[in-house]
A and B are shown apart, each in its own frame.
Chain A
Amino acid sequence: MAERQVAELGPGAACCGWNHCGRRLAAGAVDGSVSVYDSNPSPSSKWQAHEQAIVNVVWLPPEYGDAVACVCADGTLSLWEEVAEDDQLPTWRKCKVFEGGNCCILNVHFGLHLGSLKMVTPYSDGQVKIYELLDSLELDKWQLQAEFQNVTDPVSRFGKPSCTSASIAWNPRRGGSQQASFAIGFDSDSSHFNSCKIWEFEEAHQRWLPLVELGSPEDKGDRVFAVAWAPNIGRSYEIIAVATCKGIAIWHIGSNTDSEGRPSTENVALLSGHDGEVWQLEWDMGGMTLASTGGDGMVKLWQANLDGVWHEQAVLDCSGSHV
């Protein structure tokens, strides 16, 4: 197994995100600056995006240029794009800032549906807002398309929970007639909000509906740390991995539907291995291997064998004790 260093991050780096092909990396720092790395150890650009620490950097889909969304510790979200004029060096331009209002924006994720760009932003009060980009060339005009709470019962009102983080995963399948959908789970003090739910856009009534909830009755209140939706290259069902305090659950979302038209869900595995909280889940491009990182400083690789049994395939020790 070969490994090579691709970048060295400057002081204060607190989070990072890769673009669609994995060749560019944006790192956010505690001083509110963002650095972009292109196959060179030192950054190609660096700019002050916020006054406070950046907590998450997410790239927009490449169909909208080279652009990143920065979530700041002060609860705001800013969009930046790389532009250049006439052979000059590219610079990063602020396109839009979303304010959190009385609460904080926790995270952001982008999805493409029927040629339009959608953005999901969960807030610290448990609200989920979905914005749609109005202009295909500029990133400054957004329209609020929907706003809801991550609960399955639309009628009853729940109090305002206090949420520390939220994990989102868009359905990676692109194009076609498929409805836009994404999975979202919270880490909050309210058990109703926490469990991971799949939301789907209903074209007929132009609204978002909770499609299914991923969790057995006794697990539904568990805080969700990470969610990842596997690329589907031809399976008849979808696979979603959800990390909670109990481990990493692998869910099959079936093509069969129940009497109410909801797809079947099956928890096919509960993988425990990380000593501490799970930080991140990532599927490989074929949706065959799941990689996870956690508080123990390990990267773990998970696969199913020929009998469909999930197991830990390998561990990469990043704890730094082998420097």
Chain B
Amino acid sequence: MPGMPTDGGGAIVPFRGEPGQGAPSPPPLRPIRHGVAPPIFRVYINWSSGNLLQVACLRPPNSEGCGGVEVAGSVVEVNLGSGGNGGAEVEEEIDEAEMRRIEYGSVPAFALLQSRKNALADAAAMSRMSSVPDYAEWWQYVLEYSKTIGNLLGNPDSPPAFMIEDPKTILKVREKPTSLRAAWELLEIFYVDKQLQSWLPERLVDWLADFDSLLSATESTVYSKLSNFQKKLINLQIVEDDPDYWNGLSAALSVGWLDIVVNMLRFHGSYQLDQMDNRETENGLVEAVAVLVSTMPRLRPNLPTGKLGQCCKTRPDFVKAWEKWRGQVTKLECSAFWIQCGHQKTRDGLKNLLHIMMGNIKELTASTSHWLELFASHFLYIRPFTVGFEGMHHLAQKCIQLKPSSSTTGLTGLVIGVLSENPEVVLAECTKHFGPWLVTHAMELLTADNDYADTMLHEERPNLGGISIEELHRLVYAQVLCSHSLTWQIAPTYLSSCLNQGLGLLEILLLKQPIQDNRLVLKTLEICRLYELDNISTNIMKVAGIYHWKHGRKGVGVYWFQQAHDKVRLDRIAQQLFEHIGKSVADDSFKQWEGLLELLGSDIGSAGGLEFLHRYRDFKRSLHQALDGRSGEAARQTVDFLIQLMRNPSTPQRFWLPLLHDSMELLNCKPSPLMNVAETNLLLNKLQELSLAKLRPDFSNNHLPSHALGSVRLALASNLARAILEDP
């Protein structure tokens, strides 16, 4: 059945070391370390919940001669979902417990969004409008969802709890960014946040500032340049003599990290008090560049507090400020002071910075490392007036040509997919690199305001057995959740959002839960109740019932059979009890089964056989009381029970005589009749029926004395006589 996007996507059972595109490449081979020495005689397999596969490897059973103590066979459990998540990149960064925190944390947001989606769809259906939901409202919901999930993935803006900042720190220590968060933010920027769509270039610059360190593990980036220089800085006497200082400065400036540039410029030797006098002009030039850098106009709604730059909210403001600022940059570049600057490296370095600010493509290309950095620098210095999405893909292609990268990470692949406006590629990249969690949750972002993605994801496909790609990915993620005993409980939320096959899988999941643990059974039943899976809960109760019944806990077993309304089995149990009781109605045997009946409680309306036993228990008790206390009320009560029992069709015939015989003493000891004429006649009729039945060969004798029938008849007759006399 379902599978993966053919265009280079991942796999349903995500597998590390998975081949790239192209079918002919052999599938990944994973050696299983089971500890059994070859040769292997047989391999047995069994799927348990989710992606867990149990593999039993057996040696030839008759080869005991070699060694004797060797393992004859071994069973290993293999989690094909790679420890619960699947995306190879994600797995390296986030451990299992952290991933579980994210998985649990995203459930409420996902559920809320689904319920809002359903509510909007219902409202649209009610008002008979076309099924176009209120978009303005909808993307707000999706944005809220996106922010909630984004926060779960960590907040790179949050400063560490306690830190003494060293003035010589270039890159501030922050929470380590993860590619999962980077991918999420990227999707949010491009697919959800409508309000900020026109600030797209600046948002991309911000995104790069947060996640530049993740672009490449092996190749140079602006981040790696700066962090290398940071390490070197402690041992540097004269920073401005080191080419890495100027390289770092131009790199940071080209991607718009203004704070870092200004901070680094202040490391310049001309700021030192003992040198101020000799290097006054030089210092003035450094400071002038620093001022220009810190006043660079930025077309964006706001600047975080403490960030440098000049924030312009409207385009006209920005154009005005930009022209003025560019004028100042040009003016400084042409200034005569440069001749007076004696330090060659400072002069060249500062001029380089000015050229970057003037948008010199050569300098920008030289100072950036990764194509995404070059891409961002274009928006900052070459095309500052770009609004929205225009020309981004073309520009990206150009940058990739200029700075080809040998290794592509999931993030760059994702960026290319986003820029090429190809949701299939975006989805395939997410599947391949970030695992089923991200795919499942990110689909909501992709479809927030993208009709094409909406159709692509929601179209029901015959090749997938009639489900949509969205449903397929949710099912795949649910299977991942099912693979762990700590996460299967959240799978139902996702399965219930799958219209076609979700409940089918949920049913199988619930039926696969072991019933030995009572708490687990209650949890499973609660899920059944929540999703109205009555058949499944009945089945689970029956399984639990037979388990306890067979394991000596008869009472618990009967309890579950009752809950399941398992009439067949309860009748069968009642039958067993009858057989036991039927052998002897002596009081000591009554004690034995009374305990079991006690457990059954009074709510046994559904079970015919047990209902009789329950009434019989009440009758017996009442009879004891009546005979002991001789109170009229107890006697009347006992007679009521007797009449009820004799009237009830579920009372087996073979109990009629013992019942009547038991009550005989009571009937005889009272001076006044306990039953009226009608009641006595009923009993006499039953007795008559019994004497006829006695003639049949299958009549079972109750070990009562042979004259029992006659004695009862006599007692009833005398009662009838008294009743007639007293009858008004």
Docked Cα-Cα span, A85 to B548, in Å, equals 10
Contact A62 B12 (CB under 8 A): no
Q: What's the nearest-Cβ distance from chain A to residue B494, in Å?
A: 13
Docked Cα-Cα span, A284 to B51, in Å, equals 7
Interchain CB contact (< 8 A) of B32 among A3, A230, A239, A288: A3
Interchain CB contact (< 8 A) of A25 among B37, B49, B56, B58: B56
Query: Residue A155 at the B interface, CB < 8 A?
Result: no
Contact B543 A62 (CB under 8 A): yes
Contact A236 B466 (CB under 8 A): yes
In the complex, residue of chain B having the shortest beta-carbon distance to the beta carbon of A7: B75
Q: Known interface pairs A233-B508, A235-B465, A318-B32. Does A288 touch B2 (Cβ–Cβ under 8 Å)?
A: yes
Contact A3 B27 (CB under 8 A): no
Q: Quick check: which of A13-21, A160-168, A178-186, A259-267 contacts chain B, the rest being far away?
A: A13-21
Contact B13 A314 (CB under 8 A): yes
Q: What's the nearest-Cβ distance from chain B to residue A248, in Å?
A: 14
Query: Residue B1 at the A interface, CB < 8 A?
Result: yes
Contact B34 A9 (CB under 8 A): no
Docked Cα-Cα span, A279 to B73, in Å, equals 17
Which has the most chain B C-beta neighbours within 10 Å: A63, A87, A233?
A: A233
Q: What's the nearest-Cβ distance from chain B to residue A69, in Å?
A: 16
Q: Known interface pairs A7-B75, A286-B508. Does A319 touch B501 (Cβ–Cβ under 8 Å)?
A: no
Interface size counted on chain A using CB atoms at 8 A: 94
Q: Known interface pairs A30-B62, A285-B49, A288-B12. Does A8 touch B73 (Cβ–Cβ under 8 Å)?
A: yes
Query: Residue A159 at the B interface, CB < 8 A?
Result: no
Query: Residue B464 at the A interface, CB < 8 A?
Result: yes
Q: What's the nearest-Cβ distance from chain A to residue B514, in Å?
A: 5
Docked Cα-Cα span, A314 to B32, in Å, equals 12
Q: Known interface pairs A11-B64, A30-B61. Does A313 touch B508 (Cβ–Cβ under 8 Å)?
A: no
Query: Residue A5 at the B interface, CB < 8 A?
Result: yes
Contact B74 A314 (CB under 8 A): no
Q: Which residues of B contact A288 (CB under 8 A)?
A: 1-3, 12, 475-476, 479
Contact B47 A9 (CB under 8 A): no
Which has the most chain A C-beta neighbours within 10 Å: B36, B78, B465, B505?
A: B465
Docked Cα-Cα span, A64 to B475, in Å, equals 30
In the complex, residue of chain A having the shortest beta-carbon distance to the beta carbon of B53: A291
Query: Residue A299 at the B interface, CB < 8 A?
Result: yes
Query: Residue B550 at the A interface, CB < 8 A?
Result: yes
Give A280-323 as 1s and 0s: 1 = Cβ < 8 Å from B's Cβ atoms. Answer: 10111111110101000111110111111101111111111111
Docked Cα-Cα span, A322 to B476, in Å, equals 30
Docked Cα-Cα span, A139 to B42, in Å, equals 30
Q: Which residues of B contact A204 (CB under 8 A)?
A: none
Docked Cα-Cα span, A65 to B15, in Å, equals 37
Query: Residue A81 at the B interface, CB < 8 A?
Result: yes
Interchain CB contact (< 8 A) of A321 among B38, B54, B511: B38
Interchain CB contact (< 8 A) of A65 among B11, B53, B509, B547: B547
Contact B50 A285 (CB under 8 A): yes
Q: Which residues of B contact A17 (CB under 8 A)?
A: 44, 46
Interchain CB contact (< 8 A) of A21 among B38, B48, B55, B80: B48
Q: Which residues of A contact B118 (CB under 8 A)?
A: none
Contact B28 A318 (CB under 8 A): no
Q: Known interface pairs A285-B512, A305-B6. Does A4 touch B482 (Cβ–Cβ under 8 Å)?
A: no
Docked Cα-Cα span, A312 to B48, in Å, equals 21
Query: Residue B77 at the A interface, CB < 8 A?
Result: yes
Interface size counted on chain B using CB atoms at 8 A: 101
Contact B33 A15 (CB under 8 A): no
Q: Known interface pairs A9-B74, A65-B546, A288-B12. Does A20 touch B511 (Cβ–Cβ under 8 Å)?
A: yes
Q: What's the nearest-Cβ distance from chain B to residue A268, in Å?
A: 10
Docked Cα-Cα span, A297 to B462, in Å, equals 35
Contact B73 A9 (CB under 8 A): yes
Contact B504 A233 (CB under 8 A): yes
Query: Residue A275 at the B interface, CB < 8 A?
Result: no
Docked Cα-Cα span, A319 to B513, in Å, equals 31
In the complex, residue of chain A having the shortest beta-carbon distance to the beta carbon of B572: A137
In the complex, residue of chain B having the shortest beta-carbon distance to the beta carbon of A231: B508
Q: Which residues of B contact A3 (CB under 8 A)?
A: 32-33, 76-79
Interchain CB contact (< 8 A) of A289 among B12, B31, B547: B12
In the complex, residue of chain A having the shortest beta-carbon distance to the beta carbon of B31: A322
Q: What's the nearest-Cβ distance from chain A to residue B254, in Å?
A: 41
Query: Residue B271 at the A interface, CB < 8 A?
Result: no
Q: What's the nearest-Cβ distance from chain A to residue B195, in Å?
A: 35
Interchain CB contact (< 8 A) of A4 among B77, B543, B572: B77
Contact B73 A136 (CB under 8 A): no
Query: Residue B5 at the A interface, CB < 8 A?
Result: yes
Contact A317 B71 (CB under 8 A): no
Contact A285 B505 (CB under 8 A): yes
Give A29-58 as 1s and 0s: 1 = Cβ < 8 Å from B's Cβ atoms. Answer: 110000001000000000000000100000
Contact B42 A90 (CB under 8 A): no
Give B468-481 as 1s and 0s: 1 = Cβ < 8 Å from A's Cβ atoms. Answer: 01000001100100
In the complex, residue of chain B having the shortest beta-carbon distance to the beta carbon of A234: B501
Contact A313 B15 (CB under 8 A): yes
Contact B46 A18 (CB under 8 A): yes
Contact A6 B75 (CB under 8 A): yes
Q: What's the nearest-Cβ distance from chain B to residue A90, in Å?
A: 6
Contact B479 A286 (CB under 8 A): yes
Q: Which residues of B contact A87 (CB under 8 A)?
A: 552
Query: Residue A154 at the B interface, CB < 8 A?
Result: no
Give B683-713 as 1s and 0s: 1 = Cβ < 8 Å from A's Cβ atoms. Answer: 0000000000000000000000000000000
Q: Known interface pairs A16-B56, A289-B12. Does A319 touch B2 (Cβ–Cβ under 8 Å)?
A: no
Contact A283 B569 (CB under 8 A): no
Docked Cα-Cα span, A261 to B32, in Å, equals 47
Docked Cα-Cα span, A17 to B27, in Å, equals 28
Contact B479 A284 (CB under 8 A): yes
Query: Residue B52 at the A interface, CB < 8 A?
Result: yes
Give A57-91 as 1s and 0s: 1 = Cβ < 8 Å from B's Cβ atoms. Answer: 00000111110000000000000011111111010
Q: Known interface pairs A1-B15, A307-B6. Does A234 touch B80 (Cβ–Cβ under 8 Å)?
A: no
Q: Which residues of A contact B52 (CB under 8 A)?
A: 22
In the complex, residue of chain A having the shortest beta-carbon distance to the beta carbon of B543: A62
Contact A315 B28 (CB under 8 A): yes
Q: Which residues of A contact B77 (CB under 8 A)?
A: 3-6
In the complex, residue of chain A having the shortest beta-carbon distance to the beta carbon of B551: A84
Q: Which residues of B contact A86 (CB under 8 A)?
A: 552
Docked Cα-Cα span, A314 to B576, in Å, equals 53
In the complex, residue of chain A having the shortest beta-carbon distance to the beta carbon of B84: A2
Interchain CB contact (< 8 A) of A22 among B30, B40, B80, B512: B512
Query: Residue A232 at the B interface, CB < 8 A?
Result: yes
Interchain CB contact (< 8 A) of B15 among A16, A309, A314: A314
Query: Residue B266 at the A interface, CB < 8 A?
Result: no
Contact B40 A320 (CB under 8 A): yes
Which has the most chain B C-beta neighbours within 10 Å: A2, A23, A303, A318?
A: A318
Give B440-468 as 1s and 0s: 1 = Cβ < 8 Å from A's Cβ atoms. Answer: 00000000000000000000011111110
Q: Which residues of B contact A81 (CB under 8 A)?
A: 550
Docked Cα-Cα span, A230 to B2, in Å, equals 13
Q: Known interface pairs A5-B34, A30-B61, A136-B572. Does A21 touch B549 (Cβ–Cβ under 8 Å)?
A: no
Docked Cα-Cα span, A4 to B487, in Å, equals 18
Interface positions of B from 3 to 22, Cβ below 8 Å from A: 3-6, 9, 11-13, 15-16
Q: Which residues of B contact A6 (CB under 8 A)?
A: 54, 75-77
In the complex, residue of chain B having the shortest beta-carbon distance to the beta carbon of A286: B505
In the complex, residue of chain B having the shortest beta-carbon distance to the beta carbon of A288: B1
Give B535-561 as 1s and 0s: 1 = Cβ < 8 Å from A's Cβ atoms. Answer: 100010011001101111000000000
Q: Known interface pairs A6-B76, A293-B45, A306-B464. Does A14 touch B37 (Cβ–Cβ under 8 Å)?
A: no
A and B contact pairs by CB, cutoff 8 A, 9 listed: A3-B33, A5-B74, A13-B58, A16-B44, A81-B550, A90-B551, A175-B535, A320-B57, A322-B33
Extra contacts, 17 of them, besides A3-B76, A285-B49 (Cβ < 8 A), are A5-B35, A8-B73, A13-B72, A15-B44, A20-B511, A53-B61, A63-B542, A86-B552, A137-B576, A233-B508, A237-B465, A284-B479, A293-B42, A297-B57, A303-B3, A307-B463, A314-B13
The 6 closest A-B pairs by CB, nearest first: A22-B48, A233-B504, A9-B73, A305-B3, A320-B38, A234-B501
